[in-house]
């Protein structure tokens, strides 16, 4: 339950001993049931998963807004941090969810941050995202990852497809330039917006998650 009384759904796959847990923030119009194969691959090595279904999405009450989604993220983080040490929490945002993940990582302690197909602000990608529903809540000053990412202290991995036609890779590169070290940018030649698993995204993320902090 969020601080404003909405009930949001999370899917929880417990981490095996010694493994991290991924706190996953999906894209716009993304339903968890459609990501079962991806989640299975994410957790196949014992990594845990807490996947959030935003307000207004399947199983969750309320209407989406930036503030609402950030409250959903806070509730999901509270659920996760009650069960796992902060240094073992890996926030992973995809597409719209990268803005949620950056906002959370700027305010809460986490172990690592993964951004898949990120943007600098909602205004930059509004034209592309307005093809999907529900997007009426995207305002000009919403999800300013460009203003928040400098407050992130956790190690960062950005993954982006070179041929992403929804959120151009230039936005990911721009956000990367604004972020502090330690950081990595992985470009997938030929990769699009929603197919990076076919190019090795899960394996790339796993190496990053399992790398010892130096």
% of the chain residues with pLDDT over 90: 71
**pLDDT surpassing 90 at residue 212:** no
User: In the numeric block, which tokens belong to residue 20?
Assistant: 């991290």
Query: Would you state the pLDDT for residue 58?
Result: 58
Check residues 71 and 6 and name the one with the higher pLDDT: 71
pLDDT tens-digit readout, 130-147: 555 445 455 555 889 999
* Mean pLDDT of the region 74-98: 97
SS3 track for the chain: CCCCCCCCEEEEECCCCCCCEEEEECCCCCCHHHHHHHHHHHHCCCCEEEEEECCCCCCCCCCCCHHHHHHHHHHHHHHHHCCCCHHHEEEEEECHHHHHHHHHHHHCCCCEEEEECCCCCHHHHHHHHCCCCCCCCCCCCCCCHHHHHHHCCCCEEEEEECCCCCCCHHHHHHHHHHCCCCEEEEEECCCCCCCHHHHCHHHHHHHHHHCCCC
* Mean pLDDT of the region 170-198: 98
Check residues 16 and 4 and name the one with the higher pLDDT: 16
* Mean pLDDT of the region 185-209: 98
**pLDDT surpassing 80 at residue 124:** no
| pLDDT-based confidence at residue 115 (cuts at 50, 70, 90) | very high
* Mean pLDDT of the region 188-203: 98
| Integer CA distances (angstroms), 87 to 76, 95, 127, 168, in order | 16, 24, 37, 31
Mean pLDDT of the chain: 89
Enumerate domains of the chain plus CATH numbers: 9-210 (3.40.50.1820)
Query: Would you state the pLDDT for residue 136?
Result: 47
């Amino acid at each position: 339950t969020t601080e404003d009384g909405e009930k949001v759904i999370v899917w929880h796959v417990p981490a095996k001993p010694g493994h991290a847990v991924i706190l996953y923030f999906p894209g716009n119009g993304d339903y968890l049931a459609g990501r079962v194969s991806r989640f299975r691959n994410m957790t196949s090595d014992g990594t845990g998963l807490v996947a959030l279904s935003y307000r207004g999405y399947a199983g969750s009450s309320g209407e989406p807004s930036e503030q609402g989604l950030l409250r959903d993220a806070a509730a999901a983080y509270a659920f996760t941090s009650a069960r796992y040490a902060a240094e073992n929490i890996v926030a992973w945002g995809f597409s719209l969810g990268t803005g949620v993940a950056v906002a959370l990582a700027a305010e809460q302690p986490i172990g690592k941050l993964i951004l898949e197909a990120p943007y600098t602000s909602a205004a930059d990608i509004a034209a592309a995202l307005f093809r999907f529903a529900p997007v009426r809540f995207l305002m000009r000053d919403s999800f300013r990852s460009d203003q928040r990412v400098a407050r992130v202290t956790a190690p960062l991995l950005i993954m982006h497809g070179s041929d992403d036609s929804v959120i151009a890779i230039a936005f990911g590169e721009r956000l990367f330039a604004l972020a502090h070290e330690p950081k990595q940018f992985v470009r997938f030649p030929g990769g699009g917006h929603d197919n990076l698993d076919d190019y090795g995204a899960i394996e790339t993320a796993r190496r990053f998650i399992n790398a010892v902090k130096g």
